[in-house]
A and B are shown apart, each in its own frame.
Chain A
Amino acid sequence: MSKDMSYQAVMGRKNEIMKRALGVDYEEYELSDIAFDYDTMMEDVGYSLEEIRKIQREVSVGDTPLVELKNLTALARRFSEKGKGARIFIKDEAGNPSGSFKDRRASLSVYQAKLLGYKGVVTATSGNYGAAVASQAAKLGLECIVVQECYDSEGIGQPEILEKRRKCEALGAEVISLTVGPELFYSFLSILEETGYFNASLYSSFGIRGVETLGYEIAEEVKEKYGKFPEVVMVTHAGGGNITGTARGLRLAGAKETKVVGVSVDLKGLHMASDRDFNKKSFTTGHTGFGIPFATFPDRSDVPRSAARPLRYMDEYYLVKQGEVFYMTEALAQLEGLERGPAGNTSLTAAFAMARQMDENEIIVVQETEYTGAGKHPQSQLSFARERGIEVMFGNPEEEIPGKNIILPESPRDIALRPVDMENLKRSMIRNVVAAKNITRVTELDIIFLMEETRESYEFVKLELQLLGAKIVL
Chain B
Amino acid sequence: MITKGTWVEIHDTILRPEERTGNIPEETRNVPFEMRLKGFLQDDQAELMDRVTVKTVSGRLVSGMLIKENPTYDHSYGETFIPELLKIGMELRRILEVDHE
A157 within 8 Å of B by Cβ? yes
CA distance A327 to B85 in the complex (A): 8
Shortest distance between the CB of A395 and any CB in chain B (Å): 11
Are A178 and B93 also in contact (CB < 8 A) when A7-B21, A382-B85, A384-B78 are? no
Residues of B within 8 A of A382 (CB): 78, 82, 84-85
* Beta-carbon contacts under 8 Å, B31-64 to A: 31-39, 56-60
Are A383 and B79 also in contact (CB < 8 A) when A71-B96, A333-B89, A335-B93 are? yes
CA distance A334 to B37 in the complex (A): 39
B84 and A394 within 8 A (CB):
yes
A151 within 8 Å of B by Cβ? yes
CA distance A377 to B77 in the complex (A): 7
Shortest distance between the CB of B65 and any CB in chain A (Å): 12
Contact residues on A (Cβ < 8 Å of other chain), bracket: 35 or more
A153 within 8 Å of B by Cβ? yes
A180 and B28 within 8 A (CB):
yes
CA distance A396 to B35 in the complex (A): 40
Residues of B within 8 A of A169 (CB): 38, 57
A74 and B99 within 8 A (CB):
yes
Q: CB < 8 Å: which of A163, A275, A378, A412 contacts B85?
A: A378
B58 and A145 within 8 A (CB):
yes
A57 within 8 Å of B by Cβ? no
A179 and B25 within 8 A (CB):
no
Residues of A within 8 A of B57 (CB): 169, 172-174
Q: CB < 8 Å: which of A155, A330, A383 contacts B78?
A: A383
Q: CB < 8 Å: which of A150, A331, A377 contacts B92?
A: A331
Nearest-neighbor residue (CB-CB) of B22 within chain A: A182
Most buried by B among A78, A183, A194: A183
Shortest distance between the CB of B82 and any CB in chain A (Å): 4
Are A276 and B75 also in contact (CB < 8 A) when A177-B36, A334-B89, A335-B93 are? no
A383 and B81 within 8 A (CB):
yes
CA distance A380 to B73 in the complex (A): 14
Residues of B within 8 A of A157 (CB): 75
Are A383 and B80 also in contact (CB < 8 A) when A181-B24, A273-B24, A275-B27 are? yes
CA distance A334 to B56 in the complex (A): 42
Most buried by A among B23, B31, B88, B95: B88
A386 within 8 Å of B by Cβ? yes
Residues of A within 8 A of B33 (CB): 178-179, 181, 183
B58 and A174 within 8 A (CB):
yes
A120 within 8 Å of B by Cβ? yes
Residues of A within 8 A of B32 (CB): 153, 179
Residues of A within 8 A of B35 (CB): 176-179, 187
A274 and B92 within 8 A (CB):
no
Nearest-neighbor residue (CB-CB) of B74 within chain A: A162
Residues of B within 8 A of A159 (CB): 75-76, 78
Residues of B within 8 A of A181 (CB): 20, 22, 24, 28, 33
> Using an 8 Å CB-CB cutoff, how does the interface string of A41-61 with B read, 1 for contact, 0 for none?
000000000000000000000
* Beta-carbon contacts under 8 Å, A422-449 to B: none
Residues of B within 8 A of A392 (CB): 82, 84
Q: CB < 8 Å: which of A143, A150, A162, A330 contacts B58?
A: A143
A466 within 8 Å of B by Cβ? no
A151 and B36 within 8 A (CB):
yes
A195 and B78 within 8 A (CB):
no
7 contacts between A and B (CB under 8 A): A186-B14, A187-B14, A271-B25, A326-B85, A379-B77, A381-B78, A412-B92
A162-B73, A380-B75 given. 16 additional CB < 8 A pairs?
Answer: A145-B58, A153-B31, A166-B73, A174-B58, A178-B14, A179-B34, A182-B22, A183-B21, A183-B22, A274-B28, A379-B77, A379-B81, A381-B78, A383-B79, A383-B81, A386-B82
Interface residues of B (CB under 8 A from A): 14-15, 19-25, 27-28, 31-39, 56-60, 73, 75-82, 84-85, 87-90, 92-93, 95-96, 99
The 3 closest A-B CB pairs, nearest first, are A383-B78, A334-B89, A153-B31
